Amino acid sequence: MGEDLSVICGHCKVIQLSELDFPGHPYSASVLKAGYCLSQTDGTFRADGSITLITGPKNILVDTGGPWDRDFLLLKLKERGLAPGDVHVVVGTHGHSDHVGNLSLFPEALIIVGYDISEGDTYHSNRLAEGQAYTIDEHVCVVPTPGHTGQDVSVRLKGASVGTLLVAGDLFESCSDEDSWRELSMNTAVQETHRQEALRTADVIIPGHGFPFRIIKS
């Protein structure tokens, strides 16, 4: 597994990885697209969210990229022998357009966006807003991690070769986001609490706008 960059995140050492595929049993995870956020000289910025596919007993897509990623996403699924109808669960970690721009490709999937869980036009009760995880099965769950917005969620996968994997959306912008995440946060105190919990409980984190990183436990 490639390791590219070592930084300090709060009191924790993290190492950015070049690896995008994380095998495991019964689930494996692949980052189909590593997100980015790039400032432009005219004061705007270009951004796209990371897209992650978890395959196993259920095929779970975490974030769909922006609508400009439609053809890219379909191609990446096809390369893995999947059509949109083969995706059982689609999770949008929050409602920004660069994370949920292709939900319409998956009308048959269970859709989780923030704290809303729906199948077609039927919405299911859950306790995400109360701080409780939504369990997909014994290996995968959706956990509330607000702060960046009021209803952010992350997907926790246990049993990958790297240990516990957290697909974190914009809870983390990137491996080295200490100078930037607060500017994009709706509630920095709440987000900081969830960031520290993620660093404590996960072994590898897939951030919303960068490559995965490993947490080095002290």
Using the predicted structure, report yes or no on whether residue 9 has a pLDDT greater than 80. Answer: no
Task: Give the model confidence (pLDDT) of 181-208 as tens digits.
Answer: 999 999 999 999 999 999 999 999 999 9
If phi > 0 it is left, if psi is from -120 to 50 it is alpha, else beta; for residue 137 that is beta
DSSP state of 206: E
User: Which pLDDT does position 120 carry in this prediction?
Assistant: 96
The pTM of this model reads 0.94
Which long-range contacts link 183-189 to residues 24+ away (Cβ below 8 Å)? 184/148, 185/147, 185/148, 186/146, 186/147, 186/148, 186/149, 186/150, 187/146, 187/147, 187/150, 188/147, 189/147
Task: Give the model confidence (pLDDT) of 75-108 as tens digits.
Answer: 999 999 999 999 999 999 999 999 999 999 999 9
3-class state of residue 145 by DSSP: coil
User: Which pLDDT does position 1 carry in this prediction?
Assistant: 47
What's the rounded Cα separation, in Å, for the pair 35 and 169? 10
Domains of the chain: 3-216 (3.60.15.10)
Using the predicted structure, report yes or no on whether residue 8 has a pLDDT greater than 80. Answer: no
Using the predicted structure, report yes or no on whether residue 156 has a pLDDT greater than 90. Answer: yes
Task: Give the model confidence (pLDDT) of 15-72 as tens digits.
Answer: 999 999 999 999 999 999 999 988 899 989 999 999 999 999 999 999 999 999 999 9
